[in-house]
A and B are shown apart, each in its own frame.
Chain A
Amino acid sequence: MSLLLFLEQTLNGLQLGVTLFLMAAGLTLVFGIMNMVNLAHGSLYMIGAFFAASFTQWTGSFFLALPLAILSTFVVGVLVEAIALRTLYSRDHLDQVLATFGLILFFNELTKIVWGPISIFMDVPPLLAGRVELIAGAPYPVYRLAVLGVGLAVALGLWWLIARTRLGMLIRAGASNREMVGALGVDISRLYMLVFGLGAALAALAGAMAGPIYVVEIGMGDAMLIKTFVVIVIGGIGSIRGAFVAAVIVGLVDTFGRIVPAQLGLPTAIAEMAIYILMAFVLFFKPTGLFAARA
């Protein structure tokens, strides 16, 4: 592998990594704080992308569409939490799996009704079109760099929120012992709703930014969801830091897993399997992930 290819793929891997982090950050908190399995998180990613595509069409600007899409998905997330998920927190995991599996079917079909079955191709916003030569001889798309930058900025913002604010303190406390937080007089149901809404907004951001890179289509969230699970399990449920580290690792492994085996003459079957092998390996030695929030 040439050095240029290596650098380009590293950037690709990091960019996939931050996208995965945006998905994983919200979901790992839902898992950790509410002890809730939510399979429908990928649907929020998809809805965010579809909203972004429509708002871009209506407003003519991707940059106007992005906050609108995030806000709309936030509202969808809070509504889903209030209507369907709230009653599931006290149920066992199997109930949660079934109910949120039902939500996936519902959202995939609803999206098909609203937007039609045809995939939408979003254009890269003109301001971020083109390529830039970060490294001489290896022009890299500006848009992908922007996604990477936004992802890192959000990660930093989240770190600040979690580590430095009162809300963050409550979230951290909730992740390690939610009964205690409730007993101390915190309005747990409002905290849950906020965390869920935050997760939905982050998923929407990830989906909306992924729109111009990949393609906006029904079920686009499902594949992303499972990779997000891998990230969360490797990082340790309930840990934002774990989610970040694992997201970067998974992003890089997934990206290089598609190139390295072919170059070494290994079977390409390893490409899609690489991250699952990694996960099995990590869990064999650390069954609760790298940075488990709950010891």
Chain B
Amino acid sequence: MNALKLDRRTWFVIVLLAALAVLPLVAIATDNDYQIAQFRRILIFAIAAVSLDLILGYGGMVSLGHAAFFGVGAYIVAILNWHAAREVPLFGMMLGTHNVLVTWTAAAMLSGALACLIGLVSLRTSGIYFIMITLAFAQMVYFFFVSLRAYGGDDGLRFPGDTVVLGVIDTENDVAFYYLVFGILCAVLYATRRLVNSRFGLVVQGCRENERRMKALGFATFRYKLACFTLAGALAGFAGALFAANESYISPSIMHWTRSGDLIVMVVLGGMGTLIGPVVGAVAFLFLEKTLPDYTEHWMVVFGPILLLLVLFARRGIFGWFLPKEDRHGGGH
């Protein structure tokens, strides 16, 4: 295939991923190594934002509680690590573990299971009710962890974060861990792209456009939406697991409801329903969050109205501006 014939969308993706790929090398060359953990955090939030895009952009489900799944994933990794380090049995029988095959899988599975439970109740409703219910469930989870005194409660939980992934990659090694997260992000982007263009993905998008029609066509729409919601929850939990490994410290504040709001902002800022857009959104959001305070302590007073203007005038998001006109209706292609 002739590389020159690639469309703008593909070029954008290539340039973006290439830029993310050389980022740590640039940081090292310019003596900014200390920022690599910061960059990893951006990639991790990008994964969480992509997972939210599955339900928000493709499923049309406005969930205001996505940070809960992220937080639960992070807590599971933290708790298992904490038990392993202290050699205190969990539930009086099993020991904790540092093995990421166990901790990261458990994080994704349990967040997915929680998403499934929450989805079972929430997806019975729609519209404003759905927004409120996802928010309320997230609050429930948030307060649950706030009141877990054994694991630090409000103050959060610090745990030994030195983990070796599959006997190869040490999370203490800044650059190696960065490329691991980067590789995971690429894999997630590839897998979700395949998913949204699959039969399953098309049915979910059909539900977004007109659920009644999909029902009339004989699809069990509830099941499709629930599966999508569960999957997004599991993926967010997985991102949370990476976050815990990155920080070696977590507190309930990562699942505060404003964090769910931040995730929505990332998705819409970058371009909803495009998968790559949320990655751009996460980069832009965390960049603004880091740099705006340098100009004014009261940066939120600027950032709030920016959101309003974004909604009113730039609904397609950053990625949307790069797409040719006919591509601009969002959704999978």
Question: Assuming A272-B147, A273-B143, A276-B140, is B304 touching A103 (CB within 8 A)?
Answer: yes
Interface set, chain B 97-139, CB cutoff 8 A to A: 121, 124-125, 127-129, 131-133, 135-137, 139
Q: Is B264 an interface residue (CB 8 A)?
A: yes
CA–CA, A276 to B134, complex, Å?
Answer: 11
> When each residue 236-254 of chain A gets 1 if its CB lies under 8 Å from chain B and 0 otherwise, what string results?
0100000000000000000
Bound complex: CA A287 to CA B311 (Å): 29
Complex: A154 Cα to B261 Cα, angstroms: 33
Residues A105 and B300 in contact in the complex (CB < 8 Å), given A87-B312, A93-B127, A97-B131:
yes
Q: With contacts A93-B62, A269-B144 known, is A237 near B128, CB below 8 A? A: yes
Q: Which of A94, A104, A109 contacts B298 (CB 8 A)?
A: A109
User: How many residues from B make CB contacts under 8 Å with A?
Assistant: 43
Residue B257 interfacial (CB < 8 Å): yes
Contact yes or no, A105 B129, CB < 8 A:
no
Is residue B148 contacting chain A, with contact meaning CB distance below 8 A? yes
Residues of chain B in range 301-331 having any CB-CB distance to chain A below 8 Å:
301, 303-308, 310-312, 315
B279: Cβ under 8 A from any A Cβ? no
A283 is an interface residue with CB less than 8 A from chain B: yes
Let me know if A102 and B307 touch, CB within 8 A.
yes
Q: Is A101 an interface residue (CB 8 A)?
A: yes
Among candidates B62, B124, B127, B303, residue contacting A102 with C-beta atoms closer than 8 Å: B303
A270: shortest Cβ distance to chain B, in Å? 8
Contact: B135 with A112, CB < 8 Å? no
The answer to whether B131 and A269 have CB atoms under 8 Å apart is no
* Contacts A37-B131, A283-B129 given; does A94 touch B303 at CB 8 Å: no
Q: Which residues of B contact A280 (CB under 8 A)?
A: 121, 133, 136-137, 140
Does the CB pair A94–B268 fall under 8 Å?
yes
Say yes or no for B241: interface residue by CB 8 A criterion: no
Among A123-131, A162-170, A225-233, the one that faces the other chain is: A225-233
Q: C-beta contact mask, A75-93 vs B, less than 8 Å → 1, else 0?
A: 0000000001001100101
Q: How far is the CB of A233 from chain B (nearest CB, A)?
A: 5
Enumerate chain B residues within 8 angstroms of A288, measured Cβ to Cβ: 125, 129
Nearest chain B residue, comparing its CB with the CB of A238: B128
Establish whether residues B257 and A226, one from each chain, have CB atoms under 8 Å apart when the complex forms: yes
A101 and B265 within 8 A (CB): yes
What is the total of A-B residue contacts with beta carbons within 8 Å?
129
CA distance A277 to B133 in the complex (A): 11
Contact status A99-B311, CB under 8 Å = yes
Find out whether the CB atom of B128 lies under 8 angstroms from the CB atom of A101. Answer: no
Interface residues contributed by chain A, number (CB under 8 Å): 47
B44 beta carbon closer than 8 Å to chain A: no
Residues of chain A within 8 A of B146, CB atoms compared: 272
**For the complex, is B56 an interface residue (Cβ under 8 Å from A)?**
yes
B residues near A54, Cβ cutoff 8 Å: none
B-side binding surface: helix, strand, loop or mixed? Answer: helix
0/1 string, B139-178, CB within 8 A of A gives 1: 1100110111000000000000000000000000000000
Mark interface residues in A267-295 (1 if CB within 8 Å of B CB, else 0): 11101110011011001100111000000
Q: Known: A88-B311, A93-B128, A102-B308. Contact between A273 and B265, CB under 8 A? A: no
| Nearest A residue (CB) for B265 | A98
Flag whether A58 is at the interface (Cβ < 8 A).
Answer: no
Chain A residues contacting B148 (CB-CB under 8 Å) are: 269
Residue B43 interfacial (CB < 8 Å): no
Interface flag for A15 (CB, 8 Å):
no
> A276 is contacted by which of B137, B147, B261, B303 (Cβ under 8 Å)?
B137
Task: Report B-chain residues with C-beta under 8 Å of the C-beta of A146.
Answer: none
CB distance from A155 to the nearest CB of B (A): 22
Contacts of B62 in A (CB 8 A): 93-94, 97
- B64 in the interface (beta carbon within 8 A): yes
B310: chain A residues at CB < 8 Å are 98, 102
A31 and B136 in contact, given A93-B62, A98-B310, A101-B265 (Cβ under 8 angstroms)? no
Closest to A31 in B: B128
Query: Cβ of A287: which chain B residues have Cβ within 8 Å of it?
Result: 124-125, 129
A213 partner residues in chain B, CB cutoff 8 A: none
A276 surroundings in chain B (CB, below 8 A): 136-137, 139-140, 143
CA distance A107 to B308 in the complex (A): 13
Cβ-neighbour of B133 out of A37, A98, A268, A279 (below 8 A): A279
Contact of A271 among B139, B147, B268 (CB under 8 A): B147
Q: Quick check: B121 and A97 within 8 Å, CB to CB?
A: no
- Decide if A277 touches B132 in the complex (CB within 8 Å): no
Contact yes or no, A273 B121, CB < 8 A:
no
Q: Which residues of A contact B136 (CB under 8 A)?
A: 226, 229-230, 233, 276, 279-280
Q: Which residue of B lies closest to A103 (CB)?
A: B304
Among A102, A104, A113, A267, chain B packs the most CB atoms within 10 A around the CB of: A102
Chain B neighbourhood of A31, CB < 8 A: 128
> What's the least CB distance linking B140 to chain A, in Å?
4
Bound CA span A261–B70, Å: 29
Contacts beyond the supplied A93-B62, A104-B304: 11 A-B pairs with Cβ under 8 Å: A98-B264, A101-B258, A101-B264, A103-B308, A105-B300, A106-B304, A222-B258, A233-B136, A237-B128, A273-B140, A280-B121
A-B contact pairs, 24 of them (CB 8 A): A35-B128, A93-B62, A94-B272, A95-B315, A97-B264, A98-B311, A99-B307, A105-B303, A105-B304, A106-B301, A106-B308, A107-B304, A109-B301, A110-B301, A112-B298, A113-B298, A226-B135, A226-B136, A226-B257, A229-B132, A237-B129, A273-B140, A280-B133, A283-B124
Nearest 10 Cβ contacts at the A-B interface: A102-B307, A106-B304, A272-B143, A105-B304, A109-B300, A276-B140, A269-B147, A109-B301, A102-B304, A99-B311
